[in-house]
Structure 1
Amino acid sequence: MNTLNQEIVAHLFEFWSEIGNQGGFTKTGLGYTSTLAPSNSWPSKVFITDSSKTDFEYIQRSMQNGILPNSFSIGEDEKLIEKLKLIGFKEISRVKAMCLSSNQDHPCGLSDDIVVVGSSKHALEFAAVASKAFGYTIHPSTINALLGHRQFHLYLGMHLGTYASCGMVYFDGDGNSGIHMIGVLPIYRGLGLGKRLTQALLSKAGASRTKKVFLVASKLGEPIYAKLGFETHGSLVSFKV
């Protein structure tokens, strides 16, 4: 695993862990951390913090028995990936770990169609938009628990008087930031709403003078973010039993 891949993955693990801390559903074990959100919703995950200490057979049994969420993630480590497959884990996804390559200028401030999520009503709308955009459940209580937290900044994008997109910035403990949960309702895709919201998130991250900006992207999303200055540094790999 290269150094930047490690940094990006560590940022993402901290992001999930802190969401769970605010919602009261983060737990730690030997070499791993888990988050089990309400009704097994996002972000119900196991993430490996130290593979040298992790008992993967215990992880496997606990996932099979429902003690741990049936999804865990690691950084790009081909030897470990092959070991996990031999044990019986199934690889389910690889998303691209990306980092903003340079300090670039993005429009300052928020346009009229970008709304700061600052109330329980907004949190409900954010959860609804994100759930439809990503195709999995985000519980409103998970979003509501993040309101007012200095490390989380959540936004909704408007289109024709409707909440149509969502996204958030997370500021980690190492002076870096990440843009996350960037989604657009299916009926509004292709209109540039995702790009507009992404630029607003980058403006927020840049205004805070973070050292680096991270994100993870699908294979289809990778070239879109590359045009904004992000470079790919390996993958985040996820498994299930």
Structure 2
Amino acid sequence: MNKQIIAHLFELWEQIGKHTDSFNKERGFAFTKPEPDSWPSKVYNIEVGQINIKDVQRRIRTGEIPNSIGIPECENTKQLLESNNFCSTSKVKAMAMSTEQLYYDDIDESEFTLVDSKNKARIFARTASASFGYLVDTSVVQSLINKENMQLFLGRCKDDFPSCGMVYLDQNGISGIHMIGTKAEFQGLGMGKKMTRFLINQSIKSKSNTVFLVASEAGERIYHKLGFSTYGNLESFSLTGP
């Protein structure tokens, strides 16, 4: 299951890269690098027997490719990176749940709005950047509007939109929920939980029997309570030193 969840995430990164003209497939790896270094700047799909790791190092140092490599649980890939001055920088949990016989009837859909305009894309980018602490560029979000297999949403609170989230339906008919965030001043009000439940409902409407996500260690506990199970990790590495 870990490989399926990570493959779903890599597929999402590839699709975003194609929509932003920033996807590149090389021998032994792929990368997505929207300018200006916006989410999701990542190297992924590492093939140990094919990749020229020295060339990757050089191109990272020149800024040609992102200095962030995402890998599923794979000891050979990890050893390759660690033996070439790459260090682990983060680890998130690969999670999944079944949606059979599940639907949240208590969700008020009027509290959520579909991102379907340039102005809403700007708000989504601002909310996501504030929630996650890294750049989510408006131009990237705009490129994802009105795509058949992607939906981006904002959560409303009075006159503000302090929460965000998205659903991606992959080529296997499985939905993943992503970019679930809440601005700091609105955290603790249950808005992230509401967004998650709303996105699960949207996945069910797409006839997905399974929902994937990746979560931080803190988020893992929350998602467990909603019925998600953990299936290993996605680890990120960055080049350090000369």
Q: Same fold per TM (> 0.5)? A: yes
- The secondary structure found in structure 1 opposite 2:164 is strand
> CA–CA distance in 2 between the matches of 1:102 and 1:196?
16
| CA gap 1:104/1:128 in 2 versus in 1, 3 angstroms | farther
Aligned residue number for residue 66 of structure 1: 63
Percent identical pairs in the alignment equals 39
- The secondary structure found in structure 2 opposite 1:158 is strand
Is contact 1:102-1:229 (8 Å) kept? no
Tell me how far 1:222 sits from its aligned partner.
0.3
Give every structure 1 segment of 4 or more consecutive aligned residues whose post-TM-superposition deviation is greater than 6 Å: none
Single out whichever of 131-140 and 79-88 deviates more from structure 2: 79-88
Equivalent of 2:185 in 167, 184, 187: 187
* Amino acid paired to 1:197: M
Equivalent of 1:99 in 96, 99, 103: 96
| TM-score of the two chains, using structure 1 as the length reference | 0.95
Give the alignment of 1:136-151 within 5 angstroms. 136-151=134-149
- The secondary structure found in structure 1 opposite 2:80 is helix
Is contact 1:115-1:157 (8 Å) kept? yes
Tell me how far 1:41 sits from its aligned partner.
1.2
Tell me how far 1:24 sits from its aligned partner.
1.1
> CA–CA distance in 2 between the matches of 1:158 and 1:138?
19
- The secondary structure found in structure 2 opposite 1:144 is helix
Aligned residue number for residue 37 of structure 1: 34
Matched, 1:87 2:92: no
Aligned residue number for residue 209 of structure 1: 207
> CA–CA distance in 1 between the matches of 2:137 and 2:144?
12
* Amino acid paired to 1:67: E
> CA–CA distance in 1 between the matches of 2:223 and 2:136?
24
> CA–CA distance in 1 between the matches of 2:90 and 2:233?
10
Q: Give unmatched runs, 5+ long, in structure 2.
A: none
Aligned residue number for residue 121 of structure 2: 123
Is contact 1:100-1:212 (8 Å) kept? yes
Is contact 1:48-1:72 (8 Å) kept? no
> CA–CA distance in 1 between the matches of 2:108 and 2:153?
10
> CA–CA distance in 2 between the matches of 1:23 and 1:79?
32
- Alpha-carbon deviations, 1:49-76, whole Å to 9, x = none? 4333222222122112211111111101
Give the alignment of 1:16-27 within 5 angstroms. 16-27=13-24
Is contact 1:101-1:231 (8 Å) kept? no
| TM-score of the two chains, using structure 2 as the length reference | 0.94
Is contact 1:48-1:54 (8 Å) kept? no
- The secondary structure found in structure 2 opposite 1:214 is strand
Is contact 2:99-2:211 (8 Å) kept? no
Aligned residue number for residue 233 of structure 1: 231
* Amino acid paired to 1:125: I
> CA–CA distance in 2 between the matches of 1:188 and 1:89?
36
| CA gap 1:55/1:211 in 2 versus in 1, 3 angstroms | farther
Single out whichever of 39-48 and 77-86 deviates more from structure 2: 77-86
